Amino acid sequence: MNRDGALQSAWQQEIKKFDTPPAIADVYDVAIIGAGITGITCAEKLQASNQNCIVLEAVNIGHGTTGGTTAHLNTFFDSSYDKVIRDFGKDNARLLAQAAKEAIATIKANVQKYQIDCDFEEKEAYLFATDEKQAKELDDLFEGSLEAGIDISWSDAHTFPIPFVKQARIGGQAQFHPVKYIRALAEAFVKMGGTIFEDVRVQDIEEAEDEVLVLNTTKGVIRCRHAVYATHTPPGVNLLHFRLIPWRSYVVAVRLKEGNYPDALGYDLQDPYHYYRTHTINGEQLLIAGGKDHKTGHEEDTEQFFRELEDHVQLHYDIDSVAYSWSSQYYEPVDGLPYIGHLPGGFKEVYVAAGYNGNGMIFGTLAGTILTSLIHTGDHNYKELFDPSRVKPVAGFSKFVEQGADFISSFIKDKFSTEKIRSLVELNNDQAKVVKYDGEAYAMYKDNGGQLHAVSSTCTHVHCNVVWNNAEKTWDCPCHGSRFNINGKVLNAPAVKDLSRVHLAEPDETV
Ligand code: FES
């Protein structure tokens, strides 16, 4: 298994093991935790600026969201510019637009510099309002984008066979193959003397003498002067866990009967919205469509979202067959902008990049640039805008409170009110359930071969109860988005410890 779920993404065959031979330094300049686009971009930039770096990855490069993204490269975001202007002011909205353009330029420059064969293509994007309510939203989005300095105009083009009452075109967008891209950057990093260790999980960070950080890992200790958490959320209990909401998003990559693949990026304005683009994988064109997002751990029958997504795509395109379907995780920041900079409450030289919403390829790339500058000089143009310690009592705050209440009710319900329910259940093959027995709760799954896998249902982060995800065959935590496989192995932070496995006695064993 080399992605954080059972389903295969369109990029997954490009994910390879990437361990480099041990070149253990006494003290690294920078240790980067996580080898997705954030970690690998940071590593390449820092190593190129004469920092001796090590990347520590729990599984393999691209294992997390980079292996499951749909890799749209946009200058507009899930937090639209009109909202950013309202909450952060026009100057900051312009700064955000500038940052987005810089991120695409950085990717393009890397593709050229290292001659990366990653299907990078510049594209236009189309946003379609499918009813009058969405048309009003699109008007606001349009005005905000113009004020921020985005290349946006009204359009009647029918690039997508989706009826609209109003449509905007945005120039200067792009797309690429995310795993081919980070793999080439990782190769460049290693060529410059960088080290990548896979299958090693960082459990915590301590501070030693002389401002050296000590990283305790599952394979021993690594010492460094700076550390970067490129894992979405850091382990432990941190302010950021209360400012990030984990979401799942669903993707299908389909073959079309008519072959009318769009030559652009497309988005409707439904809530949650659908997104479309074309990519050629192994010589075969595919329409990649996504949507049906929901909060992580809030739905058990996740297979229904693939059926609904396919039905939705079929409304507009004649689907021949489904080549891939998969889901992926992203984190919504409470005030709409990501957190990139010093880890709040952490040691002085520990950094974090998180809260990208559905725009991880752009913000992951920006994080590389920003954190490199912070490590070298302590400063960057975007330092304040993305400061993880910022306090913005904006519209999102009420959502945060609502979400916080959600955590609490989940916690209390799981811990107390249902504790009386103690019954083991009969499970069919490929079925899962949390059962209470003798005061303990177990997350149980019977696989297609009839084998039962049982683990504690208590998340090892801060003890919420995990929920089954039947499409990806994972146990997902509704509180802060940790995810575990059927045997309890951690797939997504902030948890760093596996769920404890339960020995199940065979029928003829004496218990
Ligand atoms: Fe925080 Fe599970 S992720 S309690």
Ligand 1, pocket-test mutation among 238, 459, 483, 497, most atoms within 8 A of CB? 459
Asked if residue 22 belongs to a domain, the reply is yes
The number of residues in the chain equals: 511
Nearest atom within ligand 1 for CA of residue 464: 4
Tokens of 308: 């609904």
Cα 429 to averaged position of ligand 1 atoms, centre (Å): 28
Cα angle at 102 between 99 and 103, to 5 degrees? 90
pLDDT bracket for residue 409 (50, 70, 90): very low
467 CA distance to ligand 1 middle (Å): 11
Are 463 and 448 in a shared domain?
yes
**Dihedral sign, Cα of residue 371, residue 372, residue 377, residue 380:** negative
* Domain-located, residue 438: yes
In a domain, 376, yes or no: yes
What is the number of domains present in the chain? 2
Nearest residue to 269 (alpha-carbon basis) of 164, 145, 157, 158? 164
When computed from its CA atoms, the radius of gyration of the chain, rounded to whole angstroms, is 23
Q: Which residues, 6 or more positions from 262, have their beta carbon under 8 angstroms from its beta carbon?
A: 159, 160, 276, 277, 278, 287
**Ligand 1 nearest-atom number relative to CA 477:** 2
Same domain, 409 and 507: yes
pLDDT of residue 405: 39
What CATH number corresponds to the domain at position 489? 2.102.10.10
Any domain includes 76:
no
Mean pLDDT, to the nearest integer, of 203-226? 92
Q: How far is the CA of 480 from the centre of ligand 1 (A)?
A: 5
Residues 226 and 369 in one domain: yes
CA pair distance 511, 506, nearest whole angstrom: 9
Which amino acids bring their CB within 6 angstroms of ligand 1? Answer: 459, 461-464, 477, 479-482, 494-495
Domain membership flag for residue 60? yes
- Same-domain status, 391 and 432: no
Least confident of 87-96, 185-194, 439-448: 439-448
DSSP SS3 for 240: helix
Relative to the CA of 459, which ligand 1 atom is closest?
2
- For 123-137, what is each residue's pLDDT tens digit? 999 999 999 999 999
CA of 141 to the centre of ligand 1 (A): 34
User: C-alpha distances in angstroms, 167 versus 88, 106, 124, 132, 154?
Assistant: 26, 29, 13, 12, 6
Domain boundary among 378, 395, 412: 395
Helix (H, G, I), strand (E, B) or coil at 299: coil
Q: Tell which residue, 309, 354, 310, 311, has the closest CA to residue 329.
A: 354
Domain span including residue 30: 12-68+179-242+336-395
From ligand 1's centre to the CA of 414, what distance in Å?
A: 13
Report how far ligand 1's centroid is from the alpha carbon of 374 (Å). Answer: 29
Same domain, 351 and 425: no
User: Do 510 and 381 belong together in one domain?
Assistant: no
pLDDT band of residue 382 (cuts 50, 70, 90) is very high
Q: Average pLDDT in the 170-193 region?
A: 97
Residue 305 has pLDDT above 80, yes or no: yes
Cα 315 to Cα 255: distance, rounded to the nearest angstrom? 15
pLDDT at position 422 over 70: no
Separation of CA 8 and ligand 1 centre (Å): 25
The residue out of 347, 372, 395 marking a domain boundary is 395
Q: Whose CA is nearest to atom 4 of ligand 1?
A: 462
Domain boundary among 379, 395, 411: 395
Tokens of 120: 């990078």
378 in a structural domain: yes
Among 462, 465, 492, 496, which residue has the most ligand 1 atoms within 8 Å of its CB, making it the best to mutate?
462
* pLDDT-based confidence at residue 395 (cuts at 50, 70, 90): very low
In whole angstroms, what is the distance from residue 503 CA to residue 509 CA?
Answer: 12
Name which residue sits closest to atom 3 of ligand 1, judged by CA: 480
In a domain, 372, yes or no: yes
- Total Cβ atoms within 10 A of residue 190: 19
Does 235 share its domain with 358? Answer: yes
For the chain, percent of residues with pLDDT exceeding 70: 90
pLDDT value at position 404? 41
- Indicate if 383 and 402 belong to the same structural domain: no
Residue 147 to residues 92, 96, 309, 312: CA-CA distances in angstroms? 11, 12, 34, 33
Could you tell me if residue 301 is inside a domain?
A: no
333-351: pLDDT as tens digits: 999 999 999 999 888 899 9
Residue 156, Cβ neighbours under 10 Å: how many?
8
DSSP assigned state of 465 = B
Q: Quote the tokens at residue 284.
A: 């075969």
Same domain, 366 and 507: no
Q: Are residues 381 and 412 in the same domain?
A: no
pLDDT in tens, 72-109: 999 999 999 999 999 999 999 999 999 999 999 999 99
Q: Ligand 1 centroid vs 293 CA: distance in angstroms?
A: 20
The answer to whether 325 and 252 have CB atoms below 8 angstroms apart is yes
The pLDDT of residue 396 is above 90: no
